[in-house]
Amino acid sequence: MKFYEVLNNYYDEIFPFSNDTYQFIKDTAQDGKNILETGSATGKYINALKNEGYKAVGLEHEKIFMNYSYSLIIGDMHFYPLKRESFETVFCIGNTLAHAKNSTEVHKILYNSFSLLKPGGTLIIQTVNYDRIFANNLKELPAIETRNLIFERYYEYNDDKKIYFNGVLTDKQINKTYSAVVELTPVFFDDYIKASGQIGASFVNFNGDFRYGKLQKYESFMTVASFTKPGKLQQIDSPSR
């Protein structure tokens, strides 16, 4: 069974809406402006943003998420089917970037994502902190347990260029277990630093969570990188609510 086929019916229970994540995105975005989420899955953040007057749209490669009701474009982050300089904010969270084919594609995706920004716009990328994972040779992440399920997360290493993520999901209500393996490309701190120069960012800021915690390279659970494009956004009045 494919990875997202396993997660589809349980996605928002495993990865629920986060007020911290949402506030971080809103702090970056300008009211009423155009926002793109790459890897939008069930669209919970897109719908929340649209309800507050933002012009938000999601891009999702997995067609299984077409059953969810929100502004969705089916496409591949390796080949964005979108016009350059169309958005003030682009965000890619939930470790989506690690699904790149290889490290070369990681940099290509960052470049293409950055090109979608208007001058002064911001690209937000969040992945798990692979510097921490590799430095500590972690074989698993803490299991996610809710009232209805347990989601176990295991790693197997190929080399420093590939990692295999094995997700094991147990539905406690029907006592059934599903598993799937997906190949990931780890994204390290140095990749973000290198990319910031390649894409021409005027500024890149790092956090270790969506509460603006400082990134601790070998300790933080996640890496949040925010790249700002040179230039200035055009100011507009806030839309009526």
User: Which pLDDT tens digits describe the chain residue by residue (241 residues)?
Assistant: 566 677 778 899 999 999 999 999 999 997 778 999 999 998 999 999 999 999 999 999 877 777 788 899 998 898 888 999 999 999 999 999 999 999 999 999 999 999 999 999 999 999 999 999 999 999 999 999 999 999 999 999 877 678 999 999 999 999 999 998 999 999 999 999 999 988 888 889 999 999 999 999 999 999 999 999 998 765 444 333 3
CB contact at 8 A, 98 and 127? yes
Q: How many CB atoms lie within 10 A of CB 1?
A: 8
**Structural domain includes residue 238:** no
Scan for tokens 């277990």, then name that residue.
177
pLDDT of residue 159: 73
Residues 145 and 205 in one domain: no
**Number of domains comprising the chain:** 2
Residues 12 and 65 in one domain: yes
**Structural domain includes residue 80:** yes
**Structural domain includes residue 3:** no
Residues 110 and 157 in one domain: no
Contacts of 214 (CB under 8 A, 6+ apart): 207, 208
pTM of the model: 0.91
Domain of residue 60 covers 8-128+187-228
pLDDT of residue 233: 61
**Structural domain includes residue 96:** yes
Residues 111 and 146 in one domain: no
Residues 191 and 115 in one domain: yes
Q: With CA atoms as reference, report the closest residue to 102 among 193, 222, 183, 189.
A: 183
Residues 117 and 148 in one domain: no
Residues 114 and 79 in one domain: yes
**Structural domain includes residue 54:** yes
pLDDT of residue 160: 67
